[in-house]
Amino acid sequence: MAFRALVVEKDDEGKTHGSVQTLDEAQLPPGDVTVAVEYSTVNYKDGLCLGPGGGLVRSYPHVPGIDFAGVVEASDDPRYKAGDKVVLTGWRVGEVHWGGYAEKARLKADWLVPLPDGLSTRAAMAVGTAGFTAMLALMALEDHGLKPGAGEVLVTGAAGGVGSVATAILAQLGHEVAAVTGRPEQEDYLKGLGAARIVPRADLAETVKRPLEAETWAGCVDAVGGAMLARVLGQMKYGASVAAVGLAGGAGLPATVIPFLLRGVNLLGIDSVMQPHDNRLRAWERIARDLPMDKLEAMIAPATLEDLPRLGAAILKGEVRGRVVVDVR
């Protein structure tokens, strides 16, 4: 049966081009579950896979889309049957394997998570990998002792996908959120998600001059990395933790070890791609419970398969606000 997909091809000069094409089901890769995809989204990594960058895609033609939600169409695995609603993030789907920018996807049952009750396929992709990762970051901070009332929790890259969801969930749980943004025009949006105050990106942009500054933050969800993460480490309260999620501002870490040694600061690495299944279930259950749906709705920009090449370029330039939800049908 024919279905539509956003296919990225590479020409003889090594340039990549994305276009919406009609494919046949026989072209799908092997796998034990076939899913009728309803929604996907645009993450930073999708921006890389839609263009030439990143070296993430191994072979062309390629169908990107690192996450999707949809309905099982056929399954050879006893855990899933036709009609089940599922969500997929990670496992290098959309990079090494064909992904969610298509009306159909075929993959390993092990990679899927049943959609929790109360979460639609559209809401699941409004959350997407970015929001799922924001929840993993929050769970890691909680596991290291963060509680509401402990003080301000910093969210960097706040108007982006990870940052928007982190801001909304933290605020919903009673944390006081300080949102770092380089886009002052997003102040109303961020306050609407629950941020108590806005920290201009420029305030944290300079590289570390003093290894320790005033103890300010009770926790941090960091989507930016680089010089900003290094600065933030020196501003954490005694024993507080930073969940390192992203590198929108750079992969380097021009820091000193002093905050670890003198303030017992913890730097927690967050990976969503190879996350064990049990923790995935726990995170999706928490998302269904703790993320207010009206705030999620405020983050959504709708899109179609045709919009993806443009949106892929935009997210790499930090121009996408909140969460894009792609209706692939």
Binding site for ligand NDP (CB under 6 A): 43-45, 129-130, 133, 157-163, 181-183, 201, 223-224, 228, 245-249, 270-273, 315, 318, 320
Closer CB to ligand NDP, 115 or 248, in the complex? 248
CB of 246 to ligand NDP, least distance (A): 2
Contact present, 7 and 285 (Cβ < 8 Å): no
Give me the least distance between CB of 21 and ligand NDP, in Å please: 26
Strand pairing partners for 178?
154, 197
**Closest residue to ligand NDP: CB criterion:** 160
Complex with ligand NDP: residue 97 or 263, whichever CB lies closer: 97
Instruction: Retrieve residue 61's tokens.
Output: 């033609």
Residue 67 CB, shortest distance to ligand NDP, in Å, is 9
Pick between residue 7 and residue 227 the one whose CB is nearest to ligand NDP: 227
Nearer residue to ligand NDP within complex by CB, 159 or 305: 159
Q: Checking DSSP bridges between strand 300-303 and strand 112-114, what pairing results, if any?
A: unpaired
Calculate the dihedral angle through the C-alpha atoms of 59, 63, 67, 73, rounding to the nearest 10 degrees. -120
Cis peptide before 61 (omega within 30 of 0): yes
Instruction: Note whether 39 and 122 are within 8 A (CB).
Output: yes
| Gap between the Cα atoms of 306 and 309, Å rounded | 7
Shortest separation between residue 38's beta carbon and ligand NDP, angstroms: 20
Least distance (Å) from ligand NDP to the CB of residue 93? Answer: 13
C-beta closer to ligand NDP: residue 36 or 162: 162
Name residues whose C-beta falls within 8 Å of residue 119's C-beta, 6 or more positions apart in sequence: 127, 284, 287, 288
